[in-house]
């Protein structure tokens, strides 16, 4: 079996994500009646969840703990709703991305492996792109599987979801230090710039 997985952000799509996530989340928390502390930027930048190396910390959990560290309670699911609202980007599909996915599907199963701590974001990005969920045999996100690239368990999850082993997986991405880690555990890495034409236009 030959399986291919693609990274999402900056590989298949470009997403207009917040340049200042702490400020964006803070604004959305205030809109939901949360008393955001004066030193919110500091609280947001601190580590509040003692997660194992390579593990993903869902951003709503991080935000809730950051608020709690300053004695602030976010009622109900306010932290999650604020995070989802703060990360609501415009999306542009990279030139050649659709053709690259279609070409990969001719040889075997195709997956998406995305580092993303924000719930629902990957699904919304796909909806706003020229790609679709059905273009992939498996979609694995770090917020869902619990592990971020370059941790080997992230690659193992997508390989398993595609019905194979990492040794049968080619992963396409744009960050050799992150996506390229698949080669350290027996898989193959292809730089997106070599796999399909890159579109660097603004």
Residue 196 confidence (pLDDT): 81
Mean pLDDT, rounded, for 182-194: 96
pLDDT digit string, tens, across residues 6-58: 999 999 999 999 999 999 999 999 999 999 999 999 999 999 999 999 999 99
Residue 2 confidence (pLDDT): 86
Q: Assess whether pLDDT exceeds 90 at residue 195.
A: no
Close Cβ partners of 184 (under 8 Å, ≥ 6 residues apart): 150, 152
Share of the chain above pLDDT 70, in %: 97
Same-domain pairing of 9 and 29 = no
Question: Which of 86, 108, 126 represents a domain boundary (last residue)?
Answer: 86
Share the mean pLDDT of the chain: 95
Same-domain pairing of 177 and 130 = yes
The model's confidence at residue 201, banded by pLDDT at 50, 70 and 90, is very low
Q: Considering the domain boundaries, does residue 132 fall inside one?
A: yes
Same-domain pairing of 46 and 116 = no
Question: Which of 62, 86, 110 represents a domain boundary (last residue)?
Answer: 86
Strand, helix or coil at 5?
Answer: strand
CB atoms within 10 A of CB 186: 14
198 or 83, which is more confident: 83
Mean pLDDT, rounded, for 140-168: 98
Range of the domain at 179: 3-13+93-195
Same-domain pairing of 81 and 116 = no
pLDDT digit string, tens, across residues 94-134: 999 999 999 999 999 999 999 999 999 999 999 999 999 99
Residue 202 confidence (pLDDT): 41
Query: Could you give the CA distance from residue 120 to residue 88 in angstroms, rounded to a whole number?
Result: 10
Residue 194 confidence (pLDDT): 87
Q: Considering the domain boundaries, does residue 201 fall inside one?
A: no
The reported pTM is 0.93
Asked if 16 and 90 touch (Cβ cutoff 8 Å), the reply is yes
């Amino acid at each position: 079996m030959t399986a291919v997985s693609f990274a999402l952000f900056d590989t298949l799509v470009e997403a207009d994500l917040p340049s200042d996530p702490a400020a964006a989340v803070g604004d959305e928390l205030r809109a939901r009646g949360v008393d955001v502390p004066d030193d919110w930027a500091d609280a947001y930048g601190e580590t509040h969840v003692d997660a194992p190396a390579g593990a993903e910390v869902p951003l709503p959990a991080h935000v809730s703990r950051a608020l709690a560290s300053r004695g602030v309670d976010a009622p109900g699911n306010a932290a999650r709703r604020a995070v989802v609202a703060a990360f609501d980007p415009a999306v542009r599909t990279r030139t050649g991305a659709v053709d690259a996915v279609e070409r990969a599907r001719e040889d075997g199963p195709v997956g998406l492996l995305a580092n993303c701590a924000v719930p629902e974001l990957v699904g919304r990005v796909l909806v706003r792109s020229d790609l679709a969920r059905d273009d992939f045999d498996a979609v694995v996100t770090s917020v869902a599987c619990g592990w971020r690239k370059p941790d080997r368990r992230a690659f193992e999850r997508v390989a398993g979801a595609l019905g194979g082993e990492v040794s049968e997986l080619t992963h396409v991405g744009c960050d050799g230090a992150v996506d390229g880690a698949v080669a350290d555990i027996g898989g193959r890495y292809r730089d997106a710039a070599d796999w399909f034409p890159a579109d660097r236009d603004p």
